[in-house]
Amino acid sequence: MEKNQKKFSPYIPAEKVTPEITVTSIVMGIILSVIFGAANAYLGLRVGMTVSASIPAAVLAMGVIRVIMRKNSVLESNIVQTIGSAGESLAAGSIFTLPALFLWAASGTMEKPGLVEITFIALLGGLLGVFFMVPLRNALIVKEHGVLPYPEGQACAEVLLAGEEKGANASTVFAGMGLAALFKFIIDGLKAVPGEISFRIHGAGYKGEIGTQIYPAVMSVGYICGPRISSYMFAGGVLSWLVIIPLIVFFGESMVLYPGTEPIGTIFAEVGASGIWSSYIRYIGAGALAAGGIISLIKSLPLIIKTFIGAMKSMVNAGNAGNYRTSRDISMKVVLIAIAILTILVWLVPAIPVSFIGAVIVVIFGFFFATVSSRMVGIVGSSNNPVSGMAIATLLIATLILKFTGSTGAHGMRSAIAIGSIICIVAAISGDTSQDLKTGFLLGATPKKQQIAEIVGVVVAAFAIGGTLYLLDSAWGFGSQELAAPQATLMKMIVEGVMEGNLPWTLVFIGVFTAIVVEIVGIPVLPFAIGIYLPVHLNVCIMIGGLVRLAFNKMKKDEEEKRATVSDGILFCSGMIAGEGLVGILLALLAVFGVDKLIDISGILNLPESISTVLSLVVFALIILSLLMFSVFRKRKKNG
């Protein structure tokens, strides 16, 4: 350990002690944990994807601590982003699985999950994710330095070290938040313009549909993901909405096909392509998503096995492996005791419907996937971490074990989702903790203090996520057009399919073999499968964001200026995601209390559809223009 420390010199030397965990860093971190947790929960339930909050949290922390408070404490800012990003990761892990319980409650299969149940599942999963990562830090962050890049961790460290900006980056994030909040309120609050426009393509017996949403957060996802990932999602959407839906309508227009309850032609005539998507396409998308997750795991097996063996060996030397401040982790004795207590709580807490066998599954799969997640994000980054694939594998195995041990029916399905939720949260938090510890390693932070900060972020976010889920479900309901909850719907289908065997397996297998074909031709399966599953309007909006990013990448500028422009765009889009998410939460609150109808001016305006469509496109153009103003045009003004 000491040898490794001598090879690498962090920004703050190990011998120097500077403020890290302070009242300022804790309070700011808690606020950002709740904000980004709620915003990412809303975003993930809408589009099936979440984004890392580490960099925007770091920028906001740097802006407040350095510029407003006149303090130059990079390690203090690092603690803020550590706590803040924990909320985002816990939200991501939770929204992939827990809404399945609400979906079952809506269908009358079981009662809604209580706030205590949600909080305990999120809390125990999050804490296990942090504690599982402690013995892995030395093996993956220190010994593999120079081998595992941890892209978000390095990027976050670079942002925190960019002191020359004097808070300009923070203003970009705040501008994105404010403008997106304004656009979101105009679109979904006042309902002055439609948030979605559609164009039916009819002719010569062909019936298809395409369109776009005009939301700033959805466009921002495309910009942050980039043109490649956006194009894969768009291709999946084109396949489902312009190929498969027209085929279903053409061949079965007068037929009633399970799981639909009306003739296909009637569904299309009354509801449009979205009715066909709801009845048939989402099952094909579910099959593709499940296959994509399993394919990703299979491809990663050699890496998984190597990582797991290395992690088990490193357990012997984990803990306080050196005298350096930058070598100190939470005591291994404390870690083992904490894991034992958390495992017992998973089993014995009445609010969590998990048996002793379920608790054992949680520990075994939890540590295994924590190891996998930590290694995977070190190579491909948090955004490409196949958390949903790990959750699918866990759910399949856990549901089979529960069924064979006699735990069936509603209780068995609830237990399976609880186990899958904890594992999913463990994987998400482990990946986030890895990136944060990499940032701290580069900066010269004290690992023990960062691990404590992760625990603080997890605890705060766990208490906030239950209320967020209840609020969103009360306002719109999961599985609705506003909140598709794609991963949670998929998890629900998997558990039902194993327990009851009532899935439309033909559609599911069409999706499975579509994913296999896509993998054979060399296209990444998961983004393509998400594109099949989600409405095409989301995919088109994401694609537009990807095209804007492509245009930025093709600009005829020197590399440094181009990189700064793209970076400003990412920060602005991160702010837009947070701003829209927060207004989404506010509008959900207004909807619960019935105030949303009082501010709705769509009835007063009563505009013809053609004019509404034009106004929607104008608003969308203004959203893109605001991105240009705080990236391309801003740099031109600064440099010329």
H, E, C per residue of 561-629: HHHHHHHHHHHHHHHHHHHHHHHHHHHHHHHHCCHHHCCCCHHHHCCCHHHHHHHHHHHHHHHHHHHHH
Which burial class, exposed, middle or buried, applies to 600 when counting CB atoms under 10 A from its CB (0-12, 13-18, 19+)? middle
Residue with tokens 């491809």: 299
pLDDT at 197: 92
Say what the pLDDT of residue 242 is. 94
Separation CA 57–CA 104 (nearest Å):
35
Decide if 11 contacts 160 (C-beta within 8 A).
no
Is 492's pLDDT higher than 80?
yes
Which of 22-31, 261-270, 373-382, 625-634 is most confident?
Answer: 22-31
Lowest mean pLDDT across 141-150, 304-313, 370-379: 304-313
The pLDDT score that the predictor gives to residue 347 is 93
HEC-encoded secondary structure of 238-268: HHHHHHHHHHHHHHHCCCCCCCCCCCHHHHH
More confident residue, 561 or 250: 250
Which residues, at least 6 apart from 437, have a Cβ–Cβ distance to it below 8 Å? 133, 137, 141, 153, 447, 450, 451
State the Cα–Cα distance between residues 455 and 125, nearest whole angstrom: 11
Q: What is the DSSP string of 44-97?
A: HHHHS-----HHHHHHHHHIIIIIIS----HHHHHHHHHHHHHHHHHHHHHHTT
The residues facing 201 across adjacent strands are 208
* Average pLDDT of the residues in 279-297: 80
pLDDT band with cut points at 50, 70 and 90 for residue 307 = low
**At 197, phi and psi to the nearest 5?**
-125, 145
Residue 333 to residues 124, 134, 316, Cα–Cα distance (Å): 19, 11, 12
- Interval 612-625 mean pLDDT: 95
Cβ atoms of 35 and 135 closer than 8 Å: no
Confidence band (pLDDT; 50, 70, 90) for 217? Answer: confident
Residue-by-residue DSSP string for 164-212: GGTTHHHHHHHHHHHHHHHHHIIIIIS--S-SEEEEEEEETTEEEEEEE
Question: Does residue 640 have a pLDDT over 50?
Answer: no
User: 433, 449, 453, 443: which is closest to 136 by C-alpha?
Assistant: 433
Q: Per-residue pLDDT for 566 more than 80?
A: yes
Q: Give the pLDDT confidence score for residue 544 in this predicted structure.
A: 96
3-state secondary structure 468-490: HHHHHHHHCCCCCCCCCCHHHHH
Share above pLDDT 70 across residues of the chain, in percent, rounded to a whole number: 90
Which of 124-138, 437-451, 556-570, 605-619 has the weakest average pLDDT? Answer: 556-570
Is the pLDDT score of 301 beyond 50? yes
457 contacts 431 by C-beta, under 8 angstroms:
no
| Residue 107 near residue 308, CB atoms below 8 Å | no
Q: Quick one: which of 127, 33, 53, 50 has its CA closest to 92?
A: 50
Structure tokens at 326: 């930058």
Beta carbons of 419 and 398 less than 8 angstroms apart: yes
How many whole angstroms separate alpha carbon 266 and alpha carbon 263? 5
DSSP states of 7-53: H---SS-TT-----S-HHHHHHHHHHHHHHHHHHHHHHHHHS-----
Q: What is the pLDDT of residue 463?
A: 93
Residue 320 in this model has a pLDDT that exceeds 60? no
Q: C-alpha dihedral over 525, 528, 533, 539, to 10 degrees?
A: 160
Low-confidence winner among 125-134, 322-331, 540-549 (lowest mean pLDDT): 322-331
Tokens of 197: 């426009």
| pLDDT value of residue 82 | 94
Nearest to 430 by CA among 364, 388, 373: 373
- What is 442-468 written as a DSSP string? HHT--HHHHHHHHHHHHHHHHHHHHHH
- Dist CA 580 CA 351 (whole Å): 33
- Residue 440: which H helix or E strand, with range? helix 409-443
Lowest average pLDDT, out of 224-238, 442-456, 503-517, 552-566, goes to 552-566
Place of tokens 């999706």: 511
Q: Which of 295, 479, 523, 458 is nearest to 392 (CA)?
A: 295
**What residues does each domain of the chain span?**
1-640
286-295, 336-345, 474-483: which has the minimum mean pLDDT? Answer: 286-295
| b/e 291-313 (16+ beta carbons within 10 angstroms → b) | bbbbbbbeebeeebeebbebbee
The strand pair at 206-213 and 196-203 is best described as antiparallel
Q: Are 546 and 226 a contacting pair, CB within 8 Å?
A: yes
At 300 the three-state DSSP class reads coil
pLDDT (0 to 100) of residue 622: 97
What confidence category does residue 4 fall into, taking pLDDT thresholds of 50, 70 and 90?
Answer: very low
Query: What pLDDT is recorded for position 46?
Result: 80
The answer to whether 405 and 360 are in contact (CB under 8 A) is: no
Closest CA to 324 of 220, 448, 185: 448
DSSP 141: I
Alpha-carbon distance 277 to 442, whole Å? 47
User: Which has the closest alpha carbon to 233: 275, 292, 151, 300?
Assistant: 292
Q: Cα(295)–Cα(524) distance, rounded to whole angstroms?
A: 10
Largest CA distance in the chain: 77
Which pLDDT band, with edges at 50, 70 and 90, does 1 fall under? very low
Residue 464: pLDDT band by 50, 70, 90 thresholds?
very high
Mean pLDDT estimate for the chain: 84
Please determine, for residue 412, whether its predicted confidence score (pLDDT) is greater than 80: yes
Q: pTM value? A: 0.77
